[in-house]
Structures are given as C-alpha cells and as structure tokens.
C-alpha cells in the first residue's frame, strides 16, 4: 500500500490529478489481496479492445480507399469529373481531416476517447453512405469533406486508448494489430470493388452501392464502439477491482498518466516548442506523401497498363499483403528489440526501391512497375511506429492529446500533398509523383536517424542529473508532469 500512497502524495497539484489516482485512493484496502496474472490480464484486455479498434481502423481506410477503387468503376465518367477534380476530392478529405484536428485536441481532453471515437465512426459512416448520392463534383466533394471531419479523430483516439492499457513496450504490437487494418482494408477493398464491378442492370451504379453498403456497416460498428468500448480502464465493467489496480500500477511505469479532463495551456505551448514533436511531424508528413499512391492512385496506375477495372482492383490487393507483413514485422520487432528508429529506416528502404522502380523503369516493364507499386506499401508500417513513438515519449495529459492530434494532422498534410503530385498534365506516367515517393522516403530515413541521436542526447543529459529524493520518482508517475518537467522520464528510441 505504501507504493500507492507515495504516488498520490501531497506534492501532486489537485488540478492535474489523474483520474487513476482517485481510483487507486478509493481502492487501497483489499483490492490487492489476490495476485493478478498480468499475462492473463493482457490477453483479457486484448480480447475486449482489439476487435473494436481493428474494425474502426479497417473501416477508416476502407472508406477512403473506396474512392481509389471507384476511379476504375466509372465514377469520373458518371459524375462528369474533369481535369484535377478527382485529385481535389481526394485532397479535400485530408484538408478537412487536418482542420478537424484543432477541435480534436479540446474534445479528446474533455470527452473520453472511446465515446468520441464511437460517435465519430457512426457519423463518418453516414458521410460515406452519402457519397452514394453524389450527382456531381460539388456534392461528392461535400460528402468527402464531412468524411474527413469525422475520420480525423480515429488516429488520436486509438493512440490514447492504447496508451491507457499498455506499457510502452506492450504498446508497439497493439498499435500494430489495429493499424494492420489498413492492409486488410486494401485487400478487402480490392475484392469488394471487384464484386461490385460485376453488378449490372441495377438501378444504381456499382460504386454507389459500394459506398452505401460500406457506410451502413461503418455506422453499425460506430454504434457498437460507442456503447461497448469503456471510457477508461477504471470504468471497464469486465475488469475486477484487483485487476484494475494491478493494471494501473503496471502502466504507471509509462509516467504519462491515464485520464484527466484538465486542459493545461502551458503543456500545449511546451508541445509547440518541442523539437522531438516537430521531427516526428516532418517524418510523418514525408512518409504520408507516398500514401497518396496507396490510398488514391494505385488502381489508376495499374489501370494505366491497359487492365480492365475489375482486374486493376484485384491486382491492387497484393499491396495490402506487403503492408500487413511489414506492419507485423515492425510491431513485434519493436516489442523484442526496441530500436524504433532502425525499424522506421528499414521500412523506408522498400519504399525507396519501389519509388525508384516506378520512376526509372519503362512502362513496358509491367512486372517491374507492379513490384514497385507493391513495395511502396511497406512504408505504411512506419506510421504505427511514429504513432506509438509519440505516445511513448510525450507525457502530460494535455500534451499527449495535442501531440496525437498534431502527428495525425501531419498524416493529413502528407496526404494533401500526395494526390496533388498526380496532375492531369502528367498522365498516364505521373513521373513527378513517382519521383516524389522516392525523395520523401529517403528524407524520412535520414530524419529518423536524427531523431534517434536527439533522444540519446536527451537521455544522457538526464542521466547526469542527480536526484536526491528517491520518493520523488514515484510521485511523478501520476502527477500530470510532462516529459520535459519530469526528471525521471526517459525517452524510448
């Protein structure tokens, strides 16, 4: 009991107290009478959380990538899209996504991440279904803008939820599990598109039926997430009191807290001036430029070889397999060896090779260019690394919310830039876009090494600072301090 008491000592400011502290105070007596098997507890949490988180991430990518497949299903012709209008539709999803990250910082501080996620999933399902009713450029654009607004919370919410239940090393494979939904969505999307392209003589075009069905499924999943994903570990009805206390004590080593509704503007200002966050942001932007190929134009590039729409959709699915393979590799690799920077660099290498194949092979070499398109999908695995890196190295309730929104927003910036590298005047080769893939991956690899050096330097500086009062280490676990304020905090790399 002494350990709990020291963590909720009088030095903790009452306006920054984590809700976990209140729970621990109220359950000091008798909650730890029985020993809790942490391995069994982790498996129990995985079973309750991961299906919802995985489905949400599958659907958020599926609802976006459907525009990719709709491109080879006749949406441009049916809606009379000309010039760069299709690229603009793809871009405005992420502009809306980026703008919506600003209020997300506030709402993720005031509303439990699980509730905010479930409500937004339901609404983006409505927006996805509304795309089926588009009658031209303006109506399609409006539907996709609302899709971007409601999808903006998925990354930050899943990051925050994951960090509430798992230690830093445990987070990596869990981020991998839900982020793997991206590759699964790419495979499922190709199969769905293939199926709906064989819908003939219906009152609606195949792409309209596809948007409608997926939108309705998304709204159902959103409703289930809202009601069945717990607000915090302390409110999980399927955990006993002893399990909750054991879990909170276990994750206290993160020194990042669990939940607090206090909005601390000082922490936002610290985040704005934090070098590590800007390095993470720039790396995410560079990585995400290539996702314009994966999300919006891979089917178009494949169709450029002369394949039919259904075959183009099927030929796009191996990219999802590449994405899943590398996502699993880095997630469990980080769990075993850490070295996030090295895994990040490793995943950019196939992206660089893929960009080179796309850029420099002649179009007549279909096999080589297809391999290039598939290899670019390896860079998808870098994003869960960056998301988990952000959550592991940013402490303080408000700073974590701000950091998650900033990094998710930078994903949007990259996706805004990516589709715009595909200009109508460059069709069908799109040479500038292919070279952009090559350049951005190489730059991201270099900055990953820079970030590694920065973290090593920061930890060395902290190791040289002597702490007189060892009790202070425990008190910082739930005190709401940021990583900059907490002398016992160490960055992972």
CA angle 329, 302, 369 (to 5 degrees): 65
Cα 420 to Cα 40: distance, rounded to the nearest angstrom = 48
> Are 419 and 289 within 8 A, CB to CB?
no
If you write DSSP's letter for every residue of 26-50 in order, what string do you get? Answer: HT-SSTTSS---HHHHHHHHHHHHH
* Residue written as token pair 């206390």: 245
> Are 360 and 415 within 8 A, CB to CB?
no
* Residue written as token pair 């090494």: 449
Mean pLDDT score, 329-342: 86
Lowest mean pLDDT among 12-21, 306-315, 348-357, 429-438: 12-21
Mean pLDDT score, 437-442: 83
* CA dihedral (356, 361, 364, 366) positive or negative: negative
CA-closest candidate to residue 347, choices 154, 481, 176: 176
Mean pLDDT score, 456-483: 66
> Are 348 and 445 within 8 A, CB to CB?
yes
Q: Over the stretch 150-198, which tens digit does the pLDDT of each residue have?
A: 998 998 899 889 888 998 888 888 888 898 888 888 888 778 877 877 7
* Per-residue tokens: 410: 């930078």
What's the pLDDT score for residue 43?
93
Residue 485 has pLDDT above 90, yes or no: no
Q: What are phi and psi of 348, to 5 degrees?
A: -75, -20
What's the pLDDT score for residue 451?
94
What's the pLDDT score for residue 468?
41
Cα 132 to Cα 215: distance, rounded to the nearest angstrom = 9
CA-closest candidate to residue 103, choices 480, 481, 408: 408
- Output the pTM of the full model: 0.79
Query: What percent of the chain is modeled with pLDDT above 90?
Result: 26
What's the pLDDT score for residue 432?
75
Query: What percent of the chain is modeled with pLDDT above 70?
Result: 86
Residue 53 has pLDDT above 90, yes or no: yes
Lowest mean pLDDT among 5-14, 46-55, 235-244, 325-334: 5-14
What's the pLDDT score for residue 173?
86
Cα 383 to Cα 412: distance, rounded to the nearest angstrom = 12
Confidence of residue 230 (pLDDT cuts 50, 70, 90): very high
What's the pLDDT score for residue 258?
64
Mean pLDDT score, 304-320: 76
Residue 278 has pLDDT above 70, yes or no: yes
What's the pLDDT score for residue 378?
87
Residue 299 has pLDDT above 80, yes or no: no
> Are 152 and 97 within 8 A, CB to CB?
yes
What's the pLDDT score for residue 10?
41
Give me the count of residues in the chain: 493
What's the pLDDT score for residue 284?
93
Residue 283 has pLDDT above 90, yes or no: yes
Confidence of residue 118 (pLDDT cuts 50, 70, 90): very high
Residue 201 has pLDDT above 70, yes or no: no
Lowest mean pLDDT among 15-24, 248-257, 399-408, 468-477: 468-477
Q: How many CB atoms lie within 10 A of CB 453?
A: 11
Lowest mean pLDDT among 38-47, 143-152, 300-309, 406-415: 300-309
Q: Which residue has the higher pLDDT, 438 or 49?
A: 49
């Amino acid at each position: 009991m002494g350990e709990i008491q020291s963590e909720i000592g009088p030095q903790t400011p009452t306006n920054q107290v984590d809700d976990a502290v209140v729970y621990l105070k109220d359950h000091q007596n008798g909650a730890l009478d029985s020993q809790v098997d942490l391995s069994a507890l982790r498996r129990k949490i995985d079973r309750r959380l991961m299906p919802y988180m995985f489905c949400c991430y599958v659907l958020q990518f599926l609802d976006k990538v459907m525009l990719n497949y709709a491109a080879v299903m006749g949406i441009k012709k049916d809606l009379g899209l000309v010039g760069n209008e299709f690229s603009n539709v793809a871009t405005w999803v992420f502009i809306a996504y980026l703008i919506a990250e600003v209020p997300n910082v506030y709402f993720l501080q005031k509303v439990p991440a699980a509730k905010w996620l479930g409500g937004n999933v339901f609404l983006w399902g409505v927006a996805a279904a509304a795309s089926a009713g588009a009658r031209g450029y303006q109506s399609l654009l409006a539907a996709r803008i609302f899709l971007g607004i409601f999808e903006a919370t998925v990354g930050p919410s899943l990051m925050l939820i994951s960090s509430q239940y798992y230690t830093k090393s445990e987070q990596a494979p869990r981020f991998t599990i839900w982020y793997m939904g991206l590759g699964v969505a790419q495979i499922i999307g190709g199969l769905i598109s293939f199926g709906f392209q064989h819908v003939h003589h219906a009152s609606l075009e195949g792409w309209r039926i596809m948007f409608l069905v997926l939108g309705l499924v998304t709204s159902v999943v959103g409703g289930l997430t809202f009601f069945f994903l717990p607000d915090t570990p302390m409110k999980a009805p399927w955990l006993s009191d002893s399990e909750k206390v054991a879990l909170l004590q276990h994750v206290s080593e993160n020194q990042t807290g669990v939940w607090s509704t206090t909005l601390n503007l000082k922490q936002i200002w610290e985040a704005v001036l934090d070098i590590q966050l800007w390095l993470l942001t720039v790396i995410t932007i560079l990585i995400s430029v290539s996702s314009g190929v994966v999300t919006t134009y891979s089917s178009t590039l494949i169709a450029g070889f002369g394949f039919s729409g259904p075959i183009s959709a099927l030929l796009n699915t191996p990219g999802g397999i590449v994405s899943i393979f590398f996502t699993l590799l880095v997630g469990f690799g980080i769990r075993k060896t850490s070295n996030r920077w090295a895994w990040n660099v490793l995943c950019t290498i196939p992206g660089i090779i893929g960009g080179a194949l796309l850029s420099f092979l002649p179009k007549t070499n279909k096999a080589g260019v297809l391999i290039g398109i598939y290899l670019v999908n390896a860079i998808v695995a870098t994003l869960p690394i960056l998301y988990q890196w952000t959550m592991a190295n940013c402490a303080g309730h408000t700073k974590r919310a701000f950091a998650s929104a900033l990094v998710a927003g930078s994903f949007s910036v990259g996706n805004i830039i990516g589709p715009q590298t595909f200009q109508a005047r460059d069709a069908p080769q799109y040479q500038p876009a292919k070279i952009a893939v090559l350049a951005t991956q190489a730059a991201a690899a270099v900055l990953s090494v820079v970030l590694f050096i920065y973290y090593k330097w920061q930890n060395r500086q902290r190791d040289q600072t002597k702490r007189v009062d060892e009790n202070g280490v425990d008190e910082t676990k739930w005190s709401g301090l940021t990583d900059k304020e907490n002398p016992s905090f160490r960055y992972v790399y």
